[in-house]
């Protein structure tokens, strides 16, 4: 009988702690993270006994871009130029299919690379009809900021954060498939439905 109140007290304390960090409670942060994960796909490429690539990719749809700007504004407060950021985000969304992804590997001693040669992983984005959306640029955020890590919570201490921009040749696709391949193998992540709106 004595142990039961302690367990209840422990549960209550854990519930308060979880709520304080945004786990299991409502609110704008939880809503944002749900939106981010709903636009995120994961792919893994396994080579022999290791993970050659573990990639979590978030597609920046028009609706998610608005959610992203709202979360930036909530986190940064009045120091952020909300209108300027919103305009740039809309311009980028009009020009590109943009995917922000975290990538990690247990096979590399230094860093995972994404480029157009045989030394790194290659990226290809195709629509539902198989039409390729040309790769415009792919770059690693050399020093992901606290804001980057807060916005893309799939980034971990073992992964690196990357941004891939593809030409928006298909204006309103019903599905997009991101293909990733190297000498270790290939994988794909498919975005469709609400993830593209």
User: Is residue 90 within 8 Å of residue 96, measured between CB atoms?
Assistant: no
Tens place of pLDDT for every residue, the chain, 197 residues?
A: 555 555 545 554 544 445 445 555 679 999 999 999 999 999 999 998 888 999 999 999 999 999 999 999 999 999 999 999 999 999 999 999 999 999 998 886 656 888 766 678 999 999 999 999 999 999 998 788 999 999 999 988 888 899 999 999 999 999 999 999 998 999 999 999 999 98
- Residue 118 confidence (pLDDT): 67
Q: What pTM value is reported for the model?
A: 0.84
Cβ contacts of 166 within 8 Å, gap of 6 or more: 96, 97, 98, 99, 125, 133, 134, 135, 136
Domain covering 39-196, topology: Immunoglobulin-like (2.60.40)
Distance CA 45, CA 161 (A): 18
Domain locations in the chain? Answer: 39-196
Radius of gyration of the chain (CA): 19
- The predicted pLDDT at position 46 comes to 92
* CA torsion through residues 66, 70, 72, 76, sign: positive
């Amino acid at each position: 009988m004595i142990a039961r109140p302690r367990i209840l007290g422990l549960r209550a304390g854990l519930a308060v702690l979880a709520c304080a960090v945004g786990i299991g409670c409502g609110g704008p942060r939880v809503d944002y993270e749900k939106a981010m994960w709903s636009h995120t796909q994961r792919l893994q490429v396994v080579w022999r006994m290791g993970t050659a690539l573990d990639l979590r990719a978030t597609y920046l749809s028009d609706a998610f871009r608005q959610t992203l700007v709202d979360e930036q504004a909530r986190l940064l407060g009045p120091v952020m130029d909300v209108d300027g950021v919103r305009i740039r985000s809309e311009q980028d969304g009009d020009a590109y299919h943009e995917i922000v992804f975290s990538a990690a590997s247990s096979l590399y001693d230094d860093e995972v690379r994404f480029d157009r040669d045989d030394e790194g992983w290659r990226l290809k984005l195709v629509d539902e009809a198989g039409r390729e959306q040309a790769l415009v640029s792919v770059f690693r955020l050399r020093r992901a900021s606290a804001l980057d890590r807060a916005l893309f919570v799939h980034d971990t201490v073992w992964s690196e954060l990357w941004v891939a921009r593809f030409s928006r040749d298909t204006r309103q696709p019903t599905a997009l498939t991101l293909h990733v391949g190297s000498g270790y193998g290939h994988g794909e992540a498919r975005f469709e439905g609400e993830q593209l709106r």
